[in-house]
Amino acid sequence: MLKLFQDSGHRAFLLADRLANAIFGTKWNPFYYLGTMAFFFFYIVLISGIYIYIFYDTSVVDAYTSVEYMTHKQWYLAGVMRSLHRYASDAMVTTMVLHLLRGFFSNRYRGARWYSWTTGIPMLVMVFAIGITGYWLVWDKLGQFVAVRTSEWIDWLPIIAEPTARNFLTNTSITDLFFRLLVVTHLGLPLMLLGLMLLHVTRLNYARINPPAGLAIGSTLALLVLSLVKPAVSHEAADLSTLPTQLNLDWFYLFIYPLMDQWSMGAVWALVGGGALLLALIPWMPPKRREPVAVVYPDDCSGCNLCVVDCPYEAIRLEKRTAATASGRYAHLPIAEVEESKCVSCGICTGSCPSSTPFRHSDEVSTGIDMPHRNIRDLHAATREALAKLTGPTKVLVYGCDHGVEMSKVMQSEVAMISLPCTGALPPSFIVYALRNGADGVFLTGCRSGDCFHRLGNDWVDMRIEHKRKPYLKRSVPHERVKRYWAAATDHKQLIDEIESFCQSLRDLPPATVKAKAEAQDATTSRETRG
């Protein structure tokens, strides 16, 4: 049942991705930057909040008056800043919730990823706390309602001797000192939130906390337009001698408050507390079977550091070599070491290792770092077996990933397919090997660009083939014989069309050109093997 629920939600996100890609393009698709956009909206909230504070009066009597002055007297700047503050806060909640839902539906929260998920829960709670105290500080009818209801909700807990709701019995019962305490709370919580946000991304290599410039500019302009078209305004001034009768709630932050009129305060606490606890425990419900983590082989690890810089989760580091290798090589060089608690078993490190090559003097294929359950020898054997099955006039070998289109859905007579934990786990030398041993072309696929299950696999493949990141694909490989198309699990029809188009392009190549390039490639590869 859980898998069915997750699959349905994941497909909904993939559909939204496709629509957003058509509108904004892959580079600026906001659904690929949900966590990053939450950071960006936080920056806007922080900057606009600092500006608002310059004009805000922290006394009970003049708080509402100062907000009204900003809203109406200085609408062209302070008023816009107030609206920007409000709408950016709503946008931050939206992107955080969508980011959480996407992680859950795509199953990116279990195993070694528990850390990012678990640190995200208190962040979400703190954001709501900041927003709620912000509505208090306006001190209009809505602020009055939120203050009274929140106090009654807190008073239900048996940890406070004196009921806090007594502070809101009369207009004179609220002191400036109490109100300034709320201001300090509202200003201090964002600093704590920023610390949590930085902690949230500490296990991520190349964590993106700044969106693409185009997406940032477009989002800011959209918020500015909304602020001008529909400016944020206050209700009437708070008056504790009367009860608010008609309120316009901000449902992004205050959705829980109507329940306090329908349920008991204990039931609301059970919903909020139980929901937060459930979210925090989800990575272990049920416990995930731990996949084998990457293993370093000292005889073949030269301490080149490529696996360290390519690991998406900072699970690998270089350490001083303490034991001698059997071959005596690399004795004076550092060695890679895997931190098991951070490894997600993606295999990207294997694709990064220069030793991961099928071109060996002996029949034994080895590498400096590998996945014990899906190792380089298995990939070599699968590649040879797949090449042997190619019998059509045009022979194409497809390397895909376990999280993209299911390989069985794209079976064709001219095509053989191999699936990896991540396409980033494919060493570029295997592309050369396949072309040298019977394949007319190599087709690479995996998750959609911008939505790699293991974060950076697609990026590293693109950069290796384009000679922008080591290990490079050899320049001798004819570019028309290698094709990339990043496709989600629901894009099997589009993937089939791309493979058929690639096969046709190979058939259209002049035979002499293909033969000449193949011979040149064989000669180059032979020299590399001897070297």
What tens digit of pLDDT does each residue of 17-67 get?
999 999 999 999 999 999 999 999 999 999 999 999 999 999 988 999 999
Contact 38, 99 (CB under 8 A): yes
As a whole number of Å, the CA-based R_g of the chain is: 29
Specify whether 226 is located in the same domain as 372. Answer: no
Q: Are residues 208 and 340 in the same domain?
A: no
- First and final C-alpha spacing in the chain: 56
278 and 302 co-located in one domain: no
- Is residue 207 domain-shared with residue 302, that is, in the same domain? no
Question: Residue 391, exposed/middle/buried by CB under 10 A (0-12, 13-18, 19+)?
Answer: exposed
Residues 156 and 302 occupy one common structural domain = no
Count of C-beta atoms within a 10 Å radius of residue 426? 28
Domain check: are 259 and 363 in the same one?
no
Length of the chain: 531
What is the predicted pLDDT for the residue at 512?
42
Residue 436 is part of which domain span?
Answer: 295-530
Do both 326 and 273 map to the same domain?
no
Contact call for residues 142 and 86 (beta carbons, < 8 A): no
Amino acid at 289: R
pLDDT band for position 401 (cuts 50, 70, 90): very high
Q: Return the closest-CA partner of residue 447 out of 503, 406, 497, 396.
A: 406
Mark whether 435 and 495 lie in a shared domain. Answer: yes
> Does the pTM of the predicted model rise above 0.85?
yes
**6 inside domain:** no
Q: Is the dihedral of CA 351, 352, 355, 360 positive or negative?
A: positive
What is residue 234's three-state secondary structure?
Answer: coil
Q: ∠ at Cα 203 (187, 377), nearest 5°?
A: 165
Last residue of a domain, one of 256, 283, 310: 283
Q: Determine contact, residues 337/318, Cβ cutoff 8 Å.
A: yes
- Residue closest to 203 by CA, chosen among 287, 317, 94, 350: 317
Domain boundary among 252, 283, 314: 283
Q: Which of 176-185, 196-205, 338-347 has the lowest mean pLDDT?
A: 176-185
> Does residue 24 fall inside a structural domain?
no
H or E element, residue 318: strand 316-319
Is residue 3 domain-resident?
Answer: no
Q: Are 319 and 263 part of one and the same domain?
A: no
Q: Strand 441-446 to strand 482-486: parallel, antiparallel, or no bridges (unpaired)?
A: parallel
Please, which residues bridge with residue 337 across strands? 317
What was the pLDDT predicted at 171?
74
121 and 237 share one domain? yes
- What is the predicted pLDDT for the residue at 245? 84
Mean pLDDT of the 456-465 span: 96
Query: Residue 5: its pLDDT value, please?
Result: 93
CATH number, domain with residue 100: 1.20.810.10
Q: With H, G, I as helix, E, B as strand and everything else as coil, classify residue 36.
A: helix
C-alpha torsion sign, points 510, 512, 514, 516: negative
pLDDT of residue 67: 96
Give yes or no for a cis peptide into 427 (omega within 30° of 0).
no
* Domains held by the chain: number: 2
pLDDT above 70: percentage of residues in the chain: 94
The answer to whether 303 touches 333, Cβ cutoff 8 Å, is: yes
pLDDT at 179: 86
pLDDT mean across residues, the chain: 91
Q: Is 34 helix (H, G, I), strand (E, B) or coil?
A: helix
Residue where a domain terminates, one of 250, 283, 316: 283
Q: Which of 60, 223, 229, 38 shows the shortest CA–CA distance to 136?
A: 60
Question: How distant, in Å, are the alpha carbons of 5, 147, 177, 183 from that of 132?
Answer: 32, 9, 19, 12
Residue 28 is assigned to a structural domain of this protein: no
Phi, psi of 400 (to 5 degrees): -130, -170
